[in-house]
Structure 1
Amino acid sequence: MNQHYDVIIVGSGLSGLSVAQFLHARQPELKVVLLEKGGRAGGAVQSFQQGEYRAEWGPHGFLDNCPEGQELIRAAGLEDRVQKAPLGQFARYLCQQGRLVELPQNPKKFLLSPILSPFAKLRLLGDLWIRPELTEQAIGPWASHRFGQAILPLVDAAITGSFAGDYQRLSMDAVMPGVRNLEKEHGSVLRGLLRQRKAAAGKAVGLPAMQNFPNGMEELTTSLARNKDIRFQCQVDAIARDEDGWAVQAGAQRLQGRRLVIALPVNAALALLTSLAQPPVPEIPVARIANVVMGFARADIPKAFGCLAPEQEKRFCLGAMFSSAMFPDRAPAPMVLLEALVGGRRHPERLKLADDELIRLAYKDLKTLLPLPEPPNFVQVLRPSNGIPQMEMGHVNLLAWRDGLQERHPDLYISGFGWDGIGMNEMIKHGSRVARAIADNLRDEPAPAAVRPVYF
């Protein structure tokens, strides 16, 4: 016997949960079901706890500058449990020539800092006279062309901190479409930013804060999953159009829905969507990392979010999060907790190392940068099963294919990790947009690309 729903959501990660929550707020009478192949909701959002130590398998937080994100926190009933680490109160460090250098977070501090030479700072202004390239650009070549070679270690660090990716492969047009639009419209990124700032005169915008929760990021997805109709251990095998909308086959179960939301990471989504139309690529690359969690007694760690290492520094770790400096209760007092990230797109071979070797090499690497006692009092290696989707060259063609598919099937909505971004706020914003489109009986139209600030 077929089971009928108003909306079927495939996937109960942050994207699927966001769609379900925003849809419930708009039309609580709709019959909605989420289909989850695993035994838990939340997807890549997963927290670790052992005794009084807390760490993250996935994202370590999300910024408070997204209205949809704040709405979701309130809907989850967690507004009184949010922990905030304001960016303006915490330093961020770059590994430069074997030592940590503080990254300036505003233009004035940047111009006064020694992180770039005077000539390199002057070269940044070359952007004002360089014509935009109209074809898709990789981030590294694009940044070098517009701002000079000296900026590349900073760009590399920013990409490492978000994608664990290779900035020579990632698409500028896919990762930062708002900046590319600004460049093309005004002939220069700097000119476009100055005009934006002038248009926003009088609207003071400070630095945002990073957010987490006392029990880790998973507290958000656990709260969102409550009171939702989620079918766990429900692997979707196939989707197809039928006279009532969509038929979804999940093992022996057959479900029918008037509208279908595919809220899966790109590669998992492609495996289902190929039956409707052949995509330009069968899958996209992913970057996998290991999180080496280390607890120390009385380590003299600065009040900072952490540090990042560009590839040219030839470090073992991509960087490290100073977790106990950011949020309370990450380690028992007076312990200090660090989370070192290893692997990524450029060094997948390091993930083949045994846990003991990962710990040894990560500790050895960080000890040359930080005054760490010996040895760590607590260690744990977290190896997330979810890779980070890489929006590399050609990704814009995949997005055009997705948009065309949604245009041909107005009751199909494609959201999820790695389509338009990998940040939590990006997942939440797209989830809100999908819910609004369903509630208003519209198809999902691509939103205008905003300029995404880079905070390292």
Structure 2
Amino acid sequence: MSNKKVDVAIVGAGLTGLTLAFYLEKAGKSVALIEKSDRVGGVINTIEEDGFVYEQGPNTGVIGSEGIVQLFDDLKGSCEHVTPNTESEERWILKGGKWVAIPNGLLKAIKTPLFSLKDKFRILGEPWRKKGTNPDESLADMVKRRMGQSYLDYAVDPFVSGIYAGDPIQLITRFAMPKLYRLEQDYGSFIKGAIKKKKEPKTALQKRVSREVFSAKGGLGKLIEGLENNISDEAFYCSSKNLSVQPQESGYNLQFSTFEEKKINIEADKVITTFGGEGLASVLPFIEKDWMKSLANTVYAKVVQVVVGYNKWNGRELKAFGGLVPSKENRDILGILFPSALFKSRCPEGGAVLSIFVGGMKKPKMIEKTEEEIKAIVMKEISDTLYCSDTPDLLRIHKYEKAIPQYDISTKDRLAAIDNIEQKYAGLYLAGNIKDGIGMADRVQQAWLLAKELTNN
């Protein structure tokens, strides 16, 4: 058996785990990064194939936290972040079978066919509407109460499909959209809150949180490579299996085996898990069953991602970020992103790469369809909405049974269980997208802050 002693053991080498390891080593801590897969990066994976560059997993992130700004600064020379072409800034919403650009100014908001005349007038009264009193109010109820049904149907519903693959009726605002919730609770209004927040003093780092969309030059896999290359080789334990963590008088003992059946024993002062769901029970067998049940009850959206590439694009001009599909439209897809319109060198000259998402919380059984059935659905949607019936030169289907955790009413019990576990077992931290948000900026922010906390303790 191989024995090792480290300051911190991290279970899971996705974006959260890699960022943690990077900053902990940077602060002089010794780290063991344990990953069950044979590669690092989790769901983030950029693939180059037949002249196409596409993402298997998230297609973009948002410069939405101080942590992600700092990370790109610290990885300078190892990874270069890129933002979309300015001519592709439009975001489309499907209404009546036609794509409509989301309005980005007052005049366009008045003219847009997305929202009813009643709700356009209703929004004028939003700053004076009473704030909600139900802490567990759903996102759907909050939006209807403050902005009206059409805003829910043609703004929030497709947005939630694009981010969570979720259902705004099920998502709880204070968990799923905490910043939106706090605008109402702290300022009494979305509009008043947004105006006041802009006037609040900010640090130099906070001023650079732009909410801009980003990728990395060459794809998001380059961000993973940049992190991996700046973490010591001896920190990595990929293809691990049968991991079990046990508390000791001081710190924790971790035992697992590698694909070569080599037994590994690690002593760590602190342990951080970066994944969720049922898998935690086998890794942390000493945790109380009631608490572990709350973690295992996390609801996940089932999503199918279909990547379609054309050497020559003959459909509608793709000068946009992509298009989202509201539930009211009764289509079979959640939305279509246009990666080749956003970033350079993603396809042959004159061609296109599309990333289409199917399933989600409202149509979970889509994942059970055969690849031929999914292909037929996707090709029909491309033909109907983007006016291209050509046979694609590339088509790849990726299924994710547990794509995105849903911050629904069960989140309350999950967060309480995490707090109870961390309070009872000093030095054990449960991180990852089961708390603190699901976006790439959220993952990096969580890891960045936790690394600071561990460094100072």
TM-score (norm 2): 0.88
C-alpha distance in 1 between matches for 2:105 and 2:446: 29
Q: Secondary structure at the match of 2:321?
A: strand
Who is 1:231 aligned against?
Answer: 237
Q: 1:370 aligns with which of 379, 386, 393?
A: 386
C-alpha distance in 1 between matches for 2:269 and 2:138: 40
Q: Deviations over 1:359-383 (max 9, x none)?
A: 2211111221112142223322222
2:254 alignment partner AA: V
Who is 2:260 aligned against?
Answer: none
C-alpha distance in 1 between matches for 2:271 and 2:112: 51
Do the aligned partners of 2:7 and 2:270 also contact (CA within 8 Å) in 1?
Answer: yes
Q: Secondary structure at the match of 1:340?
A: strand
1:337-376 aligned at under 5 Å gives the runs 337-376=353-392
Evaluate the alpha carbon distance shift between residue 207 and residue 245 of structure 1 in structure 2; reply closer, same or farther with a 3 A threshold.
closer
Q: Quote how far apart the aligned CAs of 1:274 are.
A: 6.2
Who is 2:335 aligned against?
Answer: 319
Who is 1:171 aligned against?
Answer: 172
C-alpha distance in 1 between matches for 2:100 and 2:313: 22
Who is 1:81 aligned against?
Answer: 80
Who is 1:257 aligned against?
Answer: 268
Q: Quote how far apart the aligned CAs of 1:396 are.
A: 2.6
1:36-435 aligned at under 5 Å gives the runs 36-78=35-77, 81-85=80-84, 90-106=89-105, 109-127=108-126, 128-153=128-153, 154-199=155-200, 208-226=211-229, 227-228=232-233, 229-235=235-241, 237-251=243-257, 252-269=263-280, 272-273=283-284, 275-277=286-288, 278-279=290-291, 281=294, 282-296=296-310, 297-299=312-314, 300-384=316-400, 386-435=402-451
Q: Quote how far apart the aligned CAs of 1:222 are.
A: 2.3
Who is 1:447 aligned against?
Answer: none
C-alpha distance in 1 between matches for 2:448 and 2:280: 19
Do the aligned partners of 1:10 and 1:236 also contact (CA within 8 Å) in 2?
Answer: no
Q: Secondary structure at the match of 1:369?
A: helix
Do the aligned partners of 1:322 and 1:338 also contact (CA within 8 Å) in 2?
Answer: yes
Do the aligned partners of 2:313 and 2:352 also contact (CA within 8 Å) in 1?
Answer: yes
Q: Quote how far apart the aligned CAs of 1:407 are.
A: 2.8
Q: For structure 1, which runs of at least 5 residues remain unmatched after alignment?
A: 442-456
1:231 alignment partner AA: Y
Q: Quote how far apart the aligned CAs of 1:388 are.
A: 1.3
Q: Deviations over 1:227-249 (max 9, x none)?
A: 34110121353222211211223
Worse-matched range after superposition: 10-19 or 358-367: 358-367
C-alpha distance in 1 between matches for 2:124 and 2:408: 27
Q: For structure 2, which runs of at least 5 residues remain unmatched after alignment?
A: 258-262
C-alpha distance in 2 between matches for 1:125 and 1:205: 30
C-alpha distance in 2 between matches for 1:331 and 1:88: 17
Evaluate the alpha carbon distance shift between residue 208 and residue 197 of structure 1 in structure 2; reply closer, same or farther with a 3 A threshold.
closer
Evaluate the alpha carbon distance shift between residue 3 and residue 213 of structure 1 in structure 2; reply closer, same or farther with a 3 A threshold.
same
Would you say how many aligned residue pairs link Structure 1 and Structure 2? 438
Worse-matched range after superposition: 189-198 or 429-438: 189-198
Worse-matched range after superposition: 399-408 or 168-177: 399-408
Q: Secondary structure at the match of 1:293?
A: strand
Evaluate the alpha carbon distance shift between residue 267 and residue 422 of structure 1 in structure 2; reply closer, same or farther with a 3 A threshold.
farther
Evaluate the alpha carbon distance shift between residue 64 and residue 416 of structure 1 in structure 2; reply closer, same or farther with a 3 A threshold.
same
C-alpha distance in 1 between matches for 2:119 and 2:26: 51
Indicate the percent of aligned positions where both proteins have the same amino acid: 24
Q: Deviations over 1:428-453 (max 9, x none)?
A: 00000110011000xxxxxxxxxxxx
Q: Secondary structure at the match of 1:164?
A: coil
Q: Secondary structure at the match of 1:237?
A: strand
Do the aligned partners of 1:7 and 1:33 also contact (CA within 8 Å) in 2?
Answer: yes
Q: Quote how far apart the aligned CAs of 1:392 are.
A: 1.2
RMSD: 2.5
